[in-house]
A and B are shown apart, each in its own frame.
Chain A
Amino acid sequence: NAGVTQTPKFQVLKTGQSMTLQCAQDMNHEYMSWYRQDPGMGLRLIHYSVGAGITDQGEVPNGYNVSRSTTEDFPLRLLSAAPSQTSVYFCASRRGTFSETQYFGPGTRLLVL
């Protein structure tokens, strides 16, 4: 198993550009989520999904969209990038909704100029 994979590893955007951060998992996990981590801070939840076709907002959802058309993929879309969205983005997945280990991807480093 590859586990949780994320692409790209690094990205530089200009203010106002849009892009999609890709996340995929091959463990048949129902639950997937996106976090962002700013320098010296803990992780903050952006959006999450408890299964294909079901998504919900986390702590900091503004400026981001998600969709979950398959169990394996959970892309994160930045609609109009802003410098405040410069961060490291982590995708995670877990098998169920309770008492299950959450597996994190390697992260995507995003710089918005």
Chain B
Amino acid sequence: DAKTTQPTSMDCAEGRAANLPCNHSTISGNEYVYWYRQIHSQGPQYIIHGLKNNETNEMASLIITEDRKSSTLILPHATLRDTAVYYCIVMDGTSYGKLTFGQGTILTVHP
């Protein structure tokens, strides 16, 4: 599975959009981009995933560049409860869901 690169930490003001970048320059054609988050020692929580097209759900939006070498997770109106570690993961359909977690981005939402 392709490796991902994320910033170590980011800050965001409450109520503003949080934009979390992820680089996955070695991604292959059948690999999906997944985003999970982990709120202080809890089990990771699924946020969103996509292959080529931009995706949106009730939690977030996922923007994938046309060459698929990078993506951005957008939390449109960040709240204090969104403070967490955010993991960008690339995975293909043959890996039986073997998520490989990197260090992730520590997002801190400030009042």
Q: Which residues of A contact B (CB under 8 A)?
A: 4, 31, 33, 35, 41-45, 48, 50, 56, 58-59, 88, 90, 92, 94, 97-107
Q: List the one stretch of B14-22, B60-68, B69-77, B99-107 in contact with chain A.
A: B99-107
Q: How many A-B residue pairs have CB under 8 A?
A: 57
- Is B97 touching A102 in the complex (CB atoms < 8 A)? yes
Q: Find out whether the CB atom of A48 lies under 8 angstroms from the CB atom of B98.
A: yes
Assuming the contacts A102-B46, A106-B43, asked whether A42 and B97 have C-beta atoms less than 8 A apart, the reply is no
Cβ contacts under 8 Å, B46 to chain A:
101-103
Q: Give the total of B residues in contact with A, Cβ under 8 Å.
A: 20
Contacts of B96 in A (CB 8 A): 31, 48, 50, 56, 97
Q: What chain A residues lie within 8 Å of B44 (beta carbons)? A: 43, 90, 92, 102, 104
Give every chain A residue within 8 A of B104 (Cβ-Cβ): 42
6 A-B contact pairs sorted by A residue (CB < 8 Å): A42-B102, A45-B100, A90-B43, A97-B96, A100-B97, A102-B44
